[in-house]
Amino acid sequence: MKQEIETLDVGRIIYDVPLKDYNTYHVGGVGKALVIVENKEALKKIIKELNQNNEKWKIIGNGSNLIFPDGFYDGILISLEKLDAMEITGTEIYVEAGYSLAKLSIKAAKASLTGLEFAGGIPGTIGGAIFMNAGAYKSDMGYLVKEVAYLDENLEEKVLKNKDCDFHYRTSYFKKHPNCVCLSTKLELKHGVKELIFSVMEDRRIRRLESQPLEYPSAGSVFRNPEGDYAGRLIESLGYKGKLYGGAMVSEKHANFIINKNNATASDIVGLIEDIQKNVKKKYGVDLKLEQEIVK
C-alpha cells in the first residue's frame, strides 16, 4: 500500500508509527501508518483508496479517549489535525473537526460567549467531542451544536441538524456510525460577561487539579456514570483507590480515573478495567459501561 498512498499526495505519512505518541495514556505498540491529511479532499481520497483495498482505518484526534493495543495495529490511522479552521460570527462558531476543544473554550470566553466553560479541561478535538458527545458539569456538546457537516459511508458530504445527531449521554449518531467522519460543526452559544466566564473556568481548573490526577498520563473518566449513581463511588467503595495492576493504577484522587503510573502497557489498563467491571457487577449488579475505546 505504501506506493499507492504516496501517489495520492494526501499529506504527511508516518510509517511504523509509535502508538504511544498518539494517545494520552502513552501506551501501545506500532501502527502500520499514520496519515495526516491536508484537507477534506485528501481525506476523501485516502479513505476511498483504503476502502478499495480492504484496509482497516481509523480517524484519530488527540487520542484522549483511546487505548491502543500493545502489539502491531494492522490499520491506517488518519489524523484530522490540519482541519482546524475556526470563525466566530456573533454567537455562532464555525469550527472544523481537528480544532482543540479546550482551545475553543478559551477563544469563546475571550469573545464573551458562554456555554463552553465545561470544555476547558477536556483535551480532545471538536470531532472527537461530537463523536462521544463530550461533556462535564451537567453540560455537553449536544446543548451547543446547531449542525454537523460530515462524510457519510459513501464519502458524500452531508449535514445533520442537532435533532438528527442523536446526542445522548456520551454517545451520538457518529458513535453509532463509525464510518461517518465529522468534518466541521456550527455551535450556538450565548452572550455573557467575559470576566464571569473566565472566573467559572478558573474555579473549575482549580477543582480539577484538586480532584483529578492530571500529573499522570490518563484518558479521563474510564466509565460512564450509571443512572442515578456515580461510577467513581462504586469503584471507591470496593477499595480500588490506589490499586495497582502492572504499571496501571486506579487514581488515589478519583476512582473513575486509571493512570499510567509506571510504564503501563495497554494490557495492564484493560486488565484493570475488566477487573473493576467484574467486581462491581458481582457486588452491585451494575454493568459499568466503558467511556473510553479499546482499539482493536
Exactly one of 170, 172, 218, 251 is catalytic; which is it?
170
- Give the DSSP letter string of 125-178: BHHHHHHHT-EETTEEGGGTEEEEEEE-TTS-EEEEEGGGS--BTTB-HHHH-T
Q: Is 221 among the catalytic positions?
A: yes
Exactly one of 49, 55, 117, 291 is catalytic; which is it?
291
Exactly one of 64, 105, 184, 221 is catalytic; which is it?
221
Which residues lie closer than 8 Å to 15 by C-beta, 6 or more apart? 2, 32, 33
The span from the CA of 218 to the CA of 113, in Å, is 30
Which residues lie closer than 8 Å to 263 by C-beta, 6 or more apart? 247
Q: Is 291 among the catalytic positions?
A: yes
Complete edge-to-edge strand list for the sheet that includes strand 86-89? 86-89, 92-96, 181-188, 145-151, 157-161
Q: Is 199 among the catalytic positions?
A: no
Complete edge-to-edge strand list for the sheet that includes strand 72-79? 11-18, 30-37, 72-79, 57-60
Residues carrying an active site annotation: 170, 221, 291
